[in-house]
Amino acid sequence: MAFLGLETLAQKSIFCVYIGLWVSYGLLNEYAKRSHIKFHSATAVVAQCVVKLVLAVGLFTSQDGSLGKMLELFKLHPKLFMLYLIPSGLYALYDILAYVNLALFDPPTYFLLLQFRLVITGLLHQRVFSKNLNRNQWFAILAVTCGCVIKTIGDNAGAVEKPIPFFAYGLLMVQILSSTFAGVYNEALLKNYDKNLSIHFQNTVMYLDSIVFVMVCLALGITGVSFSTAVAPANLRVLLQWPVLMMVLIMSFIGVVTSLFLKYLDSVRKAIASGLELVVLPILASVLFQTALTGYLVLSVVLVAGGIYLYSLPVAPTNPPLALQKDSEDVEDEKSASAV
C-alpha cells in the first residue's frame, strides 16, 4: 500500500512541493531576521494577495478558458463570494500571523508547535466528513501533543538569551485555529460545492475575498498599520530585497498548492505534511544558522515524527469487502431457497 495513500505521481508531487515550499519559507524568514531585514507583515500580505490573484487568473486562462468565460462563471455562481469569505478571511489572518510568529519564534520551534494543527484537524475532519479516528490516530495525537509540550518547556528551561514571550503562544494558537478551520472549510467547498467547477476559478473567488478582507483589516487598524502605510513606497521597496521577495512569492505559491492539496488529497494529510517539515527544518537550520539541536528538540522531533507515522498507518476496513458481502448474500439466498 502506498505511503499515506499517495498513489499517483501528481499526489506525490503535490505532497513534496508543499513540504519544500514551507521549509524554504522558514529558512528565508530566519535569514531575513538574522540579516536585520525589517518589513511590515501587512505590506507582505497585501502583495501576496495580489500575486495569488494573478496566479489564479493566469492558471484559469491557460487551462480552463478565457476571461469572458470567467465572467460568465461569476454570474452563475454569485453565492461563492459569500461562501469563500470565511476561509479567505481566516487564511489572510494566518498569513499575517505567520510573519509575526516567525519573528517571535525560531523556525524549528515555530513549525514544531504548529503541529497542534494535526490534533485540531483530526477532530474537525472527523466531525465534518464523518470519519472516525481509530486507535492509532488517537495515540498519534497524544504523541504530537506531548512533543509540542516538551518543546515548549525546553524553550524556557535554563538560561535563554531571548525567552519567548507568553503572548506569542496565544498568537500561535490563533494562527493554528485559523489554518485548521480554513483548511477543512475550503476542502468541503472544493469537494462538495460543484465537482466540475474549475479549481482555479474557485481560487480566484477566494483571493478576491482575501483582498477585500485585508483592505477591511487595514481600514479598521486591526493589523496595526493603515492602508497608506502598508503601501507606502518605503515599505514596498523593502519587499524587493531578495529574501523578502522570495518569501512573498513562496507564500503565494503555497496558496495555490494548498488548494490542489485539498482538492486531490485532504486536510488531514496536509497537516501530516506540515508535520514532516520539522524533520527536515531543524537539520537545515542547524547547518545553515548553527541552531542548537538540544535534547528537548530531539525528543520532540522523535515524538512528533512517531505520531505522524502512527497517524499514517493504514486502517483495516470495518466492513467486509464488497466481494465478500456479495458472497455472503448469495449464501443467504441459497439457504432461503433450500428452506422453501
206: nearest Cα among 259, 283, 153, 158: 259
Q: What is the spatial distance between Cα 1 and Cα 8, in angstroms, rounded to a whole number?
A: 12
CA atoms within 13 A on the CB side of 320: 7
Residues 6+ apart with CB under 8 A from 208: 53, 81
Asked if 88 contacts 33 with a C-beta cutoff of 8 angstroms, the reply is: no
How many domains does the chain fold into?
1
Output DSSP code: residue 3.
G
Q: What's the pTM value of the predicted model, to 2 decimals?
A: 0.76
Whats the size of the chain, residue-wise? Answer: 340
Scanning the chain, the segments in alpha helix (DSSP H) are 9-34, 41-63, 67-76, 80-83, 85-104, 107-113, 116-129, 135-155, 166-192, 199-220, 227-230, 233-238, 242-264, 267-289, 295-312, 322-339
Residues 6+ apart with CB under 8 A from 274: 19, 22, 111, 114, 115, 117, 118
Nine-digit cell string for 71: 465572467
Give pLDDT tens digits along the chain (340 positions): 456 668 888 888 999 999 999 899 989 988 888 888 888 778 888 898 899 999 999 999 999 989 999 999 999 998 898 899 888 888 778 877 877 887 788 776 777 777 777 778 778 877 777 777 778 877 887 887 788 778 767 766 654 456 778 888 888 889 888 888 888 888 888 888 888 889 999 999 989 998 888 888 788 776 667 778 888 888 888 888 999 999 999 999 998 898 889 888 888 788 778 777 777 777 788 888 887 777 887 888 888 788 878 877 766 554 444 444 444 455 455 545 454 4
Which residue range(s) make up the domain with 87? 3-338
Asked if 52 contacts 95 with a C-beta cutoff of 8 angstroms, the reply is: no
Asked if 23 contacts 277 with a C-beta cutoff of 8 angstroms, the reply is: yes
CA atoms within 13 A on the CB side of 245: 6
Q: Any idea which residue has 515524538 for its cell?
A: 303
